[in-house]
Amino acid sequence: MFKVQGLKPLHGKIKVQGAKNAVLPMMAVSLLTEGRTEIRNVPRISDVFLMAEILRDLGCQVMFQDDVLEIDASGLSGTVISEKTVGKMRSSSLLLGPLLSRAGEVTTWYPGGCVIGKRPIDFHLDVLRAMGAEILDDGGMLIAKAKKLCGTTFRFPYPSVGATENALMAAALASGTTKLLNCAREPEIMELCSFLRSMGAKISGERTGTITVDGVEKLFPTDHVTAGDRICAGTYLAAAAAAGGEIEITGVDPVVLVEPLKALRKMGAGIRISGATGPKARIGMVMERRPAGVEIDTGPYPGFPTDLQSVFLAVEAAGSGESRFKETVYEARFEAAMRLAAFGADVSLHKDTAIIRGRYPLVPGIAETPDLRGGAALLVAALAADGLSVISDSGHLKRGYEDIGRDLRKLGADIEEDEL
Ligand code: EPU
């Protein structure tokens, strides 16, 4: 439970953690090789702990010390990802491609819907079928088998991040050439391609959305430093936009934050990128006014990330104008928007669009986190509320933020946490 005393401007510097959505597929891909793969700058979040547990269940050795993860899949012995695990972490579906490729078989279950939408895995299954997998599917359990995956040409109906990742991992050791069209172009896809290339995979074209993978006989262990988490960086910038103040973020390449930074500038924030280019850059932000209204459509990268929609919406709840957020990636990602009513926010929903009329200050509220990013949104709203807000969380935030309370405190927020 978080107790947040609002209306304290944020000041200070913070280095963001490594990217959750880059680490999870790299952990899955380590199944494709024998020997010790080392991944550094790994965030200590529950999704990573859970993926490590799944890999151990499958017979891999996994060590996780500080921010260094070592995975050795030489002893891979299992092919079942339990229903219980799938229920806890949807991204366990990322193991389908690599397990099928390495062991020729996978038994798992449908992940089911979640609070942000239905989240089916039909594209994952279709691309694996196109590569020769036989998939028995009774709508609950899934049994996939393939003696040897074969190269194919496949167009994704939508540039799904997870399905693109699964296809890449399956294609790396498939026989022949795989051509993937309409692929996702998120930075995490770029990182997975570099990671696979460093293991010996032959991949090209990822920046264009059409990826060609020439299957190789064998992949080798590698080591890698994970990029900074663009969604964590965006969350902390949003926190400072709501609370006001001046902060500096390091550890993330500003290039992957083009749309969120554009939105912050429109709100009236002063943004300054300094120091080196790339991940060594420093992103400075000053916010000396109430955020002006913005119009944001979420979309696949390079569009505005859906994972920052609720957090930016919370900023505008305490803004000075009217904003419109259109959610195009998920069909039901407005749970947090609805919960902002607990802080007196004026939000109305019209199908895929939320209209927010900013009011400041917000009133202190009591609310429960609906999901990972929605939880962060409630904290952001609490920073702009005149008094003590209480936000309870049943573990959503730890899935993606190492310690969001610690980080916001470091920036000067008045946040206490207790176990209740
Ligand atoms: N979709 C389908 N069929 C599929 C796959 C996806 O219809 O087979 C639909 C989804 O239902 C959704 C859209 O396509 O409406 C996009 O889904 P996508 O597959 O791109 O998302 P994902 O791979 O399941 C990753 C991130 C999410 C992030 C999305 C979109 C990971 C582990 N997760 O999910 O991150 O929202 O891409 O950028 O990489 C988060 O970190 O909070 C989070 C939810």
Q: pLDDT tens digits for 57-78?
A: 999 999 999 999 999 999 999 9
C-alpha pair distances (Å), 229 with each of 67, 253, 286 = 14, 9, 21
What pLDDT band is residue 111 in, cutting at 50, 70 and 90? confident
Instruction: Round to whole Å and give the CA distance between 200 and 177.
Output: 15
Say if ligand 1 is within 6 A of residue 134 CB: no
What pLDDT band is residue 226 in, cutting at 50, 70 and 90? very high
CA of 329 from ligand 1 middle (Å) equals: 8
Burial 17-50 (b: 16+ CB within 10 A, else e): bbbbbbbbbbbbbbbbbbebbbbebbbebbbbeb
What pLDDT band is residue 117 in, cutting at 50, 70 and 90? confident
3-state secondary structure of 106: strand
CA of 119 from ligand 1 middle (Å) equals: 7
Task: Give yes or no for residue 216 having a pLDDT over 80.
Answer: yes
Cβ neighbours of residue 208 closer than 8 Å, sequence gap 6 or more = none
Cβ neighbours of residue 25 closer than 8 Å, sequence gap 6 or more = 94, 165, 169, 188, 192
Which two structure tokens, joined as six digits, stand for 107?
A: 């038994």
Are 363 and 402 within 8 A, CB to CB? no
Say if ligand 1 is within 6 A of residue 161 CB: yes
3-state secondary structure of 205: coil
Q: What is the pLDDT of residues 345-370, one digit of tens each?
A: 999 999 999 999 999 999 999 999 99
Closest-lying ligand 1 atom to the alpha carbon of residue 184: 20
Q: Tell me, what DSSP letter sits at residue 226?
A: P
Say if ligand 1 is within 6 A of residue 163 CB: yes
CA of 339 from ligand 1 middle (Å) equals: 22
Residue closest by Cα to atom 4 of ligand 1: 121
C-alpha pair distances (Å), 223 with each of 166, 228, 377 = 20, 16, 34
Residue closest by Cα to atom 32 of ligand 1: 21
- The residues carrying an active-site annotation are 114
Q: What is the pLDDT of residues 256-279, one digit of tens each?
A: 999 999 999 999 999 999 998 888
Instruction: Round to whole Å and give the CA distance between 268 and 348.
Output: 24
What pLDDT band is residue 231 in, cutting at 50, 70 and 90? very high
Measured from the Cβ of residue 223, the count of other Cβ atoms closer than 10 Å reads 13
Residue 112: per-residue pLDDT: 65
Does the pTM surpass 0.85? The reply is yes
Residue closest by Cα to atom 5 of ligand 1: 121
